[in-house]
Amino acid sequence: MTRLFLVRHGPTHAKSMVGWSDLPADLSDTAALDRLSAALPDDALVVSSDLSRAAETANAIARGRTRLHHLPDLREIHFGAWELRTWKDIDAEDPERIRAYWETPGDVRPPGGESWNEVCARVDRAIDSLIEAHRGRNLVVVGHFGQILTQIQRAEALTAEEAFSHRIDNLSLTEIHHRTDGWHTERINHLP
Q: How far apart are CA 135 and CA 178, in angstroms?
A: 9
Mean per-residue pLDDT, 145-152: 97
Domain ranges of the chain: 2-190
Using one digit for the tens of pLDDT, what is the confidence trace for 177-190?
999 899 999 999 99
**How many beta carbons lie within 10 A of that of residue 119, not counting itself?**
23
pLDDT score recorded for residue 41: 98
Rg (CA), the chain: 16
pLDDT, averaged across the chain: 96
What H or E segment, with its residue span, contains residue 55? helix 52-62
Question: Which is more confidently placed, 17 or 148?
Answer: 148
pTM: 0.94
Q: What confidence category does residue 105 fall into, taking pLDDT thresholds of 50, 70 and 90?
A: confident
The architecture of the domain spanning 2-190 is 3-Layer(aba) Sandwich (3.40)
Using one digit for the tens of pLDDT, what is the confidence trace for 150-171?
999 999 999 999 999 999 999 9
CA angle 180, 150, 58 (to 5 degrees): 90
Q: What confidence category does residue 11 fall into, taking pLDDT thresholds of 50, 70 and 90?
A: very high
Using one digit for the tens of pLDDT, what is the confidence trace for 30-72?
999 999 999 999 999 999 999 999 999 999 999 999 999 999 9
**How many beta carbons lie within 10 A of that of residue 81, not counting itself?**
12
Residue 124, pLDDT above cutoff 90: yes
Beta strands per DSSP E along 38-114:
45-48, 66-67
